[in-house]
Every structure is written in structure tokens, then in C-alpha cells.
Chain A
Amino acid sequence: MTEPAIRLQAVSRRFGALQAVRDVTLDVMPGERRAVLGPNGAGKTTLFNTICGDYPPTGGSIALFGTDITGLRPHQRTRLGIGRTYQTSLLFNGLTVLENLFIAVRGLRPGRFSFLRPGRGDEGVARARELADRMRLSHLLAAEVLNLSHGQRRQLEVGMALAGDPRVLMLDEPAAGLSPGDRPELLRLLRELPRSLTLILIEHDMDIALSATDVVSVMKDGVVVVEAPADRIEDHPVVQSIYLGSGH
């Protein structure tokens, strides 16, 4: 049997008295495309934070391809192959597109602390350019991030998450705030991701979530309430009550 890419066992996270994630147990298999749905405040982002280490779990354990990563720091997890984007953009506004990507690439390599400019043939710069290319941002390499459109910022976010050649990519509402015109572009970028990549996607936009993923987990009040194939989820009674009944 193959190891799951991500295995969560009874993962919990509290913030003071608030139990944001409660006993979540789930497996995501290598190459799987998983959507995490749920109403606002359900704990989706917090679940991501426990996996990538920004807010380590207060209970339970997390394994990446069979390796326990529960106690690791965020960048250690990044080096082991987890890439993520953030719900609210966390880009470096005063730097250019190329510089943002370069920082993301360089952070994973030795020689991170350096007083020397990268030379002509620098691998990190080459890799940053390649990522920009993949994200269709090559024409904006020298543009300051502050001046990018919202859609371009989202693309750059994905590019930075891919910097470490992750085996597991987690995207937190990549379509949030995108104009209808930008959505097909995003969907195409998602479909172009290599099939070997495991993808976990938080998305409020049902169309994007269901057309980009195979399996859906629905969260509510910190608990995963339903797990079902993407093509059968819309008819599920729990989902209907959450998405229609609660007037979301």
C-alpha cells in the first residue's frame, strides 16, 4: 500500500477557549486533488496552518509521506515538500516579481545568508524566471508587486508556493476576489500542475473547487462532516443544508 501524502490523525487546534479544529482525521493520497469546503469560520485555514506549521496543532499528529512532521518548524516542512498560499496575500510589496520569487527559491537552498549579488548563471534566479514563466508573469519580472493586479498577485502567490518544488501544494482560496475574467486563467493554471503533485484546495467558488478536484471534504465548526467524491458532493444532504440552508 502506498503511504498517504498527508495523514492527519485526530488533529486539533485551540486558540484559548476556541476549538478551531477538532479531532480531524483524514488521508490525502499522492497525486490526489482534494477540496476543503465549508462556511466561514469552519476552521479550513486553521487546518492548513496546522499542516504547514504556522500554527502547529495542539493535539494529534501529522505525517507527510509517512514522516512525522508534527513538531517541525514551517520552513522545515517547506523543505520536506509542502508549499502553500495564503488567504490574504503575503507578498513582499516593495520588491519586484522576480525578487519575490527569488527570495522564495533561495530560502530553500544553502547560502541563504549572503552579501553577494547572484551572478549571471545563478540557479536561483534561473529557477525564479522559470516559475514566473509557468505563472505567465514573465512580462512583469521587473514590476513591483505593489503595482500588480489582484489576479497577478494570486498567480505570483502560486508561483512562490511552487518555489520549493513541493510534493504537496495547498492553496487557500486562490480565486477569492478574482474577477470572472481571471477565473478561467486560474483554473487552467491549476489543471496544468503536474499530475504527481498532491493538491489541497480551499475554495468558496464551487465551480472551481469541483472542476479542479476529485475528492471533497466539508468542514463545519472545526470538524470534517462529509468526505465524498467531487461529482457526488452537491447532492449530499449535509452540504445542501450548509450551503443552502444556512443561507451562505
Chain B
Amino acid sequence: MRSRAAPWSLLGLAVLLALPWLLPQLLPQGQAQFWTASILGRAIVFGIIAMSLTFLATYGGFVSLAQMMIAGIAGYTLAIFVEGAVPRVVGLLGYGAAIPLALLAATAMGILMGAISLRSRDIYLLMITLALGMGVFRFIETNIAWFNGYEGIRNVVGPSLFGLDFRNALVFYHAALGTAALLYFGILYLVKTPFGLVLQGIRDNPRRVAALGYAVGLHRIAAFGVAGFIAGCGGVLSTIYNIGISPGSIGLGATVNILIMSVIGGLGHPIGAFIGSLIFTVLDTFAATIYDRDRFNTLIGLAFLAIVLVSPDGAIGVGARLRRLLTAQPRPASRVCGEVRSRPPSTRTAKEEPP
């Protein structure tokens, strides 16, 4: 019960860590900085939030559209409690205390989402999590006392780490990358634990899992809690990145963006979230130069269509297909969402399950 891909992941991580020093060798100084700060940094932050969705979808078969809202809960908790934020709501804690509190709030919100949506699946789960996300969004947007309404809360500048200031793009990039790596390897560890295996069992066959003596509901809620924690990490980072948070960043648009990132990256493996967020962020940044700003939606729509048509399992599926073409291996039965998970359980248990 060990995973194999670790050497490649570590190599990729090393390259990413060194990237701020590698890029200036390839690009003019100004552009290299822009890539580190505005593209890679942002892609990693969104990738973390998208990974919380990917984690639930890949290993549990749950598509949750509440993850952006949960990230927002972490961001707002930070903004409300940390000192120096404007306007001051509570403003009593330093970052060392406010960030853990924010992660706790996001985890609790994740657990709550899991508990509320416990009995629903497939399209109903999607709708219920979307509705919950939008409900919280509306509440935040109209509540002045705690959330300062549609203006949101500004001046969340971030801590300084061992004398290094988060406002320094290099520091932020490495903090985000470190967080992403910890969460990513954490997921790879988790999916081989009894919790992770049972979660995948629930994806493949919930009735059998229950018959084997496991509490399906408990595992489901715990998975949403884990995903909430991951989304919370992304929410804290994005709030610091944006020096604040406003309801616009957790609205329907933002929610759909997270979904698009997960799907174009691929829902077969957590790395897909980062590939998807990178593609998304690059398109988002350069849409203006390639075309014009307003055409971003057209562009991302086309990219989405192209990837989904060519490879239903997203960009990571394209990679796997290319690799097989080059090495001329036969196509193994894919474990990616399309084939294993989305098959309705009724076809597998036709005889034993009541209609």
C-alpha cells in the first residue's frame, strides 16, 4: 500500500522551488518577476482550492461546489480577527493565532457541508452544495456588521515569517508552494490509509462498505472536513495575496472558475488541480494581449471544450494518452472519473438494489 510516483513529484517540486531563480535566465527581469508573482503564485493558490474539489471528486466521487465559499470562510475569519485589517471588526489576534482560527473555521464549515449533504449524491449533491455556497455568499454580501457588505475587508497584509515579509513576492511564492506541496503529499499519504481506502470504497460501492462494517456517513463527513481544511489553506493564502477579501471573490463566477480548473486539469489525480489552475491563470492573464479582455470567457470556454472533447479526463488524461502513444502501450482500463465513478451504482447491483 505504497505509492510510486514520489520521485517524479519531488523532482517537479525542486524545479518549482528553484523557478524564481531559473526564470530570469530565460526571460527579461521584469517578466520573470511577473510570472513568479502574478501567474505562478496565483495559480498555486487557486490550485489549492481546486485541489479540495478534486480530492472529494477523485476519491469520494462527490462533486462539491461549496469549496470556494469554504475558502472564503477562512479568508473572512482571518480578515475579521486579525489586527490591522480595515475596517476593524474584531481585530484582536496576530497572524499566528488568526490563521489557525481561519483553518479551523473552514474545516468546521466543510464538516457542516458534509453533514448537510450527507444523503445526496451526483447532481443533487452538486445542486445542494451550490445552493449552500450561494446562500452564504448572499449573506456575506448583505451583512455589514461582520463582513462589511459588498466592500469586504481590506489591508490583510499577511505575517512576516522569520523576518521575511509576505509582501515580498518571493516569500509569498515559496510559502504558497510549500503549503501546496504539504497538502498534495498529505493527500497522497491519506488515500492509502484506512480512511482513504474506505473513501474510495464509498465511491465504488457504498452499500458494500456499509455491509463490511464501516460508518459510511462518518467517512463522508470527515472527507468534507479534510477538503474544508485544504480549501481553507487556499482561502487564507488568497486573502493575503489580495491584501483582503470581498464577496466578489467567492461568488458564482469564482465558484465556477474553481470547477473549470478542476475539470480542465483532470479529476483523476490531485495534480490535475494545479495543472488546471495554471492553464486557467495563463489564459486569464494573457487573454487581454492575445485578444481583448472581454474575450476571456470565450477563450477559457474554447480551451475547456477542446480539452474535454479531446480528453474527458482533462489535461492529465492528455499526458497519459501521449505517454501511451509514445511508448505504444495498450490502453489500460482507466480509473479516472468517466469510467469507474460516473457509472450509476444501479448497473452494478441491478439485482440486489431496489429500483
CA distance A75 to B210 in the complex (A): 7
User: Which residues in B have their C-beta under 8 angstroms from that of A115?
Assistant: 190, 193, 195
Q: Is the CB of B1 within 8 A of A94?
A: no
Kindly report which residue of chain B lies nearest to residue A87, judged by CB atoms: B351
User: Which residues in B have their C-beta under 8 angstroms from that of A98?
Assistant: 1
Least CB distance, A232 to chain B, in whole angstroms: 31
Partner among A87, A94, A113 whose Cβ is within 8 Å of the Cβ of B215 = A113
User: Which residues in B have their C-beta under 8 angstroms from that of A89?
Assistant: 348
Query: Known interface pairs A78-B211, A104-B212, A113-B215. Does A92 touch B350 (Cβ–Cβ under 8 Å)?
Result: no
User: Which residues in B have their C-beta under 8 angstroms from that of A93?
Assistant: 204-205, 335, 340
Chain A 7-49 per-residue mask, 1 if CB under 8 angstroms from chain B, else 0: 0000000010000000000000000000000000000010001
Q: Is the CB of A107 within 8 A of B213?
A: yes
Among A49, A94, A108, A147: residue with most chain B CB under 10 A: A94
Q: Is the CB of B352 within 8 A of A45?
A: yes
Tell me if B197 counts as interface (CB < 8 A to partner A). Answer: yes
User: Which residues in A have their C-beta under 8 angstroms from that of B332?
Assistant: 147
Q: Is the CB of B194 within 8 A of A86?
A: no
Contact count band on B = 35 or more
Q: Is the CB of A113 within 8 A of B200?
A: no
Tell me if B91 counts as interface (CB < 8 A to partner A). Answer: no
Contact count band on A = 35 or more
Tell me if B231 counts as interface (CB < 8 A to partner A). Answer: no
Tell me if B34 counts as interface (CB < 8 A to partner A). Answer: no
Least CB distance, A138 to chain B, in whole angstroms: 15
Q: Is the CB of A90 within 8 A of B348?
A: yes
CA distance A146 to B333 in the complex (A): 7
Q: Is the CB of A113 within 8 A of B335?
A: no
Kindly report which residue of chain A lies nearest to residue B336, judged by CB atoms: A94
Tell me if B84 counts as interface (CB < 8 A to partner A). Answer: no
Q: Is the CB of B335 within 8 A of A78?
A: no
Kindly report which residue of chain B lies nearest to residue A15, judged by CB atoms: B354
User: Which residues in B have their C-beta under 8 angstroms from that of A74?
Assistant: 210-211
Tell me if A106 counts as interface (CB < 8 A to partner B). Answer: yes
Tell me if B320 counts as interface (CB < 8 A to partner A). Answer: no
Chain B 329-340 per-residue mask, 1 if CB under 8 angstroms from chain A, else 0: 000110100001
Tell me if B192 counts as interface (CB < 8 A to partner A). Answer: yes
Tell me if B207 counts as interface (CB < 8 A to partner A). Answer: yes
User: Which residues in B have their C-beta under 8 angstroms from that of A15?
Assistant: 354
Q: Is the CB of A88 within 8 A of B348?
A: yes
Chain B 25-37 per-residue mask, 1 if CB under 8 angstroms from chain A, else 0: 0000000000000
Chain A 206-246 per-residue mask, 1 if CB under 8 angstroms from chain B, else 0: 00000000000000000000000000000000000000000
CA distance A78 to B354 in the complex (A): 22
Kindly report which residue of chain A lies nearest to residue B219, judged by CB atoms: A113
User: Which residues in A have their C-beta under 8 angstroms from that of B203?
Assistant: 94
**Chain B residues proximal to chain A, CB less than 8 Å:** 1, 189-190, 192-195, 197-198, 200-201, 203-205, 207-215, 218-219, 222, 332-333, 335, 340-341, 348-352, 354
Closest 10 CB pairs of A and B: A75-B213, A107-B212, A107-B213, A92-B204, A114-B194, A74-B211, A90-B208, A146-B333, A94-B335, A92-B201
